[in-house]
Amino acid sequence: MITMKAAVCRRYGPPEVLRIADVPRPVPAADEILVRVRASSVNSSDWYVRSGVRRSPLAVQVPFRLLVGLRRPRQPILGLVLAGEVVETGSAVTAFRAGERVWAFTKLRFGAYAEYACVKEHSTVAAAPANASDEDAAAMLYGGMMAIHYLRRGRLGPGQRVLVYGASGAVGTAAVQLATHAGADVVGVCGPANADLVASLGATRVLDYTSSDALPAGMAFDLVLDAVGKRRTSALKAACRRALAPGGRYVSVDDGTPDFPASDLARLAQLADDRVIEPVVDRVYPLEWIAEAHRYVEADHKRGNVVVTLA
């Protein structure tokens, strides 16, 4: 039996429930590719799953546990995004070949916190951006895909005034860049320590979320994107939601579960190659430090993305 290193989560709980273990290396089915994972990332969804949403109301916990696992994660190897290279293909695979660099959003299959992962050929997988390292690709993937989905849901268009609440996080940094590229006038909301970062990504104005009066009177937006969701509330957040122009749209990362089609991933790769979207990396951890990576992300003070590398 061939084994591999993986971060295993056999029960819900704090970051310490993640343990490095030797587990069987997966074997690709006929319609799957086997990917040698070079990099992944830790995002809000990862620690949310690992925690088992214990502090959430039952109306949230029950459907979550039915979906992911009642007493423990049904898939003990977590991780939603990966970048690496194909090492083996199933007998029915035609779109990929061994040696090709790919990136993937594994969704409920998880499995990215491991040296190898199997990915279905016709899932959210595509050729990785040619001009990005595996670490940078992993940093762009989660936030980039989320931003593409929610900006599309908000019907982003040129000339619009757009407000991004949580502009310094994984989703927010991607959304500011993509909305700016689309020709929108972007206002970002973040902590004062990250104001320069958000401005460098294209925001024409940056507001401090810790201030209740940071939103000038009379400012109205065609689109407000809440890139934080229920994890953080403030008086300014409520004011941002109310600051919609007539016919304006408010979208939040809490709104439903995105489908993440492979076409969006291919589009994101092209945007990365065209330097429209650049990675924002806060910290890089080796897989062996996965618990510390989760602890840092859960503290909710990261800038952009936290990357996990697999040697």
Residues 6+ apart with CB under 8 A from 218: none
Place 153 in a pLDDT band, splitting at 50, 70 and 90: very high
Place of tokens 């995004």: 81
Q: What is the pLDDT at residue 231?
A: 66
Q: Per mean pLDDT, which range of 16-30, 96-110, 141-155, 240-254 is the poorest?
A: 240-254
How much of the chain exceeds pLDDT 90, in percent? 82
Q: What is the pLDDT at residue 30?
A: 98
Place 230 in a pLDDT band, splitting at 50, 70 and 90: confident
79-90: average pLDDT: 98
Q: How far apart are CA 144 and CA 277, in angstroms?
A: 8
Q: What is the pTM of this model?
A: 0.94
Q: Which of 104, 190, 86, 185 is nearest to 145 (CA)?
A: 104
- Whether 123 has a pLDDT exceeding 70, the answer reads yes
Q: Please count the residues of the chain.
A: 311
Backbone angles phi, psi at 119, to 5 degrees: -130, 135
191-200: average pLDDT: 97
Mean pLDDT taken over the chain: 94
- Whether 57 has a pLDDT exceeding 80, the answer reads no
- Whether 175 has a pLDDT exceeding 70, the answer reads yes
- Is 166 in contact with 309 (CB distance < 8 Å)? no
Q: What is the pLDDT at residue 232?
A: 66
Name the residue with higher pLDDT: 57 or 277: 277
Name the residue with higher pLDDT: 210 or 123: 123
17-39: average pLDDT: 98
- Whether 145 has a pLDDT exceeding 70, the answer reads yes
Q: What is the pLDDT at residue 87?
A: 98
Q: What is the pLDDT at residue 217?
A: 82
- Whether 213 has a pLDDT exceeding 80, the answer reads no
In sign, the C-alpha dihedral spanning 36, 39, 41, 47 is: positive
Place 144 in a pLDDT band, splitting at 50, 70 and 90: very high
Place 137 in a pLDDT band, splitting at 50, 70 and 90: very high
Name the residue with higher pLDDT: 21 or 53: 21
DSSP-assigned states of every residue in the chain: --EEEEEEE-S-SSGGGEEEEEEEPP---TTEEEEEEEEEEE-HHHHHHHHTTTTS-HHHHHHHHHHH-SSS-SSSB--SEEEEEEEEE-TT--S--TT-EEEEE-GGG---SBSEEEEETTSSEEEPPTTS-HHHHHHHHHHHHHHHHHHHHTT--TT-EEEEETTTSHHHHHHHHHHHHTT-EEEEEE-GGGHHHHHHTT-SEEEETT-TT-S-TT--EEEEEESSGGG---HHHHHHHH-EEEEEEEEETTSS-----HHHHHHHHHHHHTTSS---EEEEEEGGGHHHHHHHHHTT--SSEEEEE--
Q: Which domains can be identified in the chain, with CATH numbers?
A: 3-128+280-309 (3.90.180.10), 143-252 (3.40.50.720)
